[in-house]
Structure 1
Amino acid sequence: MALRLGAVAGLTTVLTGLPIADAAAATSSSFGTGGDGQVIHLLARLTSRTDLDLGNPGFDQGDEEVFTDDLLRDNVKVGHDGGVCTVLAVEPDGSSESQCVATFSLPGGQIAAQGLIALSATGQAEFDIAITGGTGKYRKARGHISGTFLNATDSQIAIHVTH
């Protein structure tokens, strides 16, 4: 997911290699619904982004970022995502918080997610957002999506799906 507003690259974009959240609860990393849960580990790579300066000039409350990413496993595209992040607050030190909504399209269905993402003044962040629903194989999906921004175009994500 990408949250790259202003000097930052976003919900699936990430800036420095912070460790990704632990995936202890799930046992499978394959696509589909097997068992009580699964974790799908992917690399999200930015394919397009538009920053909208909607408030006062400059990076501030109300600005938005619209993004799409390719979702990769072992450098092979297995899906894509897209979403929008809206800036809620920008602090004097340059850190910020945004509300992000994204949909992940994977083999067999889609997973919808949303949540708040806090970014440091340098754009560093880890995120953990709620899965709010899905379609196809994921129609009863619940859980969360955790990730780490690695650089201006890539983020490491783990989709923790429970049913």
Structure 2
Amino acid sequence: MRPIRAACLGTATALVTLLACAPGAAAATHTDAVHAKSGHHVITLIGHLVQQSRFPVNPGGGPAQGDRTVVRSLLFDKDDKFQVGETDGTCTTTTVENGGAEECVVTYKLPGGQLSVQGLVFGILTGGLPTIPPPSFDNAITGGTGDFREARGQVHADTIGTGKRRFTIDLHR
């Protein structure tokens, strides 16, 4: 494995991604589903980063286009008490200028199926180093399996502590 360096901070401390539940799965996972209209749910989950590896293009050098971060997080209910799933994902640096950007692809494993999320995260670098805390972001729900096979919507992520993010999932079916 190449040495880890201060490259782009993966957005998938999420994760990710990331993060939705069908009506039946919402109760089973202790999430808070708000029914604004039929087929629309807002779910809040807390992600705890448990593994993160960085694969720099230029080991020992500054951030570069193509740097990759691989992450795994555990997902908990909105009260951060019950584990309800996990995320796995990768982020690739696409831009190092003007605060940098990463393209992230994250999969959320939840009761009833998986949810896929993808998008750009901007402002990942400050002065050539990872932005601490990582910036908030919005990514698209691109699909899913099982109960989430028709999932669409978006995920908003906010950093709420070291290695900890709040995910607000706006899910449409």
The verdict on a shared fold, with TM-score over 0.5 as the criterion, is yes
Equivalent residue letter for 2:148: Y
Q: 2:85 maps to which residue? A: 79
Q: 2:13 maps to which residue? A: 13
3-state secondary structure, aligned to 1:11: coil
Taking only aligned residues, the RMSD between alpha carbons, in angstroms, comes to 2.6
The Cα of 1:109 is off from its aligned counterpart by 0.9
Identify unmatched segments of 5+ residues in structure 2: 15-22, 28-32
Equivalent residues of 2:116, 2:141 under 8 A apart: yes
Q: 1:59 maps to which residue? A: 63
CA distance in 1, matches of 2:161, 2:63: 20
Of stretches 31-40 and 80-89 in structure 1, the one that deviates more from structure 2 is 31-40
Alignment of 1:6-155 (within 5 A): 6=6, 9-13=9-13, 31=26, 35-55=38-58, 57-73=61-77, 74=79, 75-91=81-97, 95-119=99-123, 121=126, 122-123=131-132, 124-155=134-165
- Number of residue pairs matched? 144
Name whichever structure is richer in strand by fraction.
Answer: 1
Identify unmatched segments of 5+ residues in structure 1: 15-27
TM-score (norm. length: structure 2) = 0.74
TM-score (norm. length: structure 1) = 0.78
3-state secondary structure, aligned to 1:102: strand
Percentage of pairs with the same residue: 33
Residues 126/142 of structure 1: CA separation in 2 closer, same or farther (3 Å cut): same
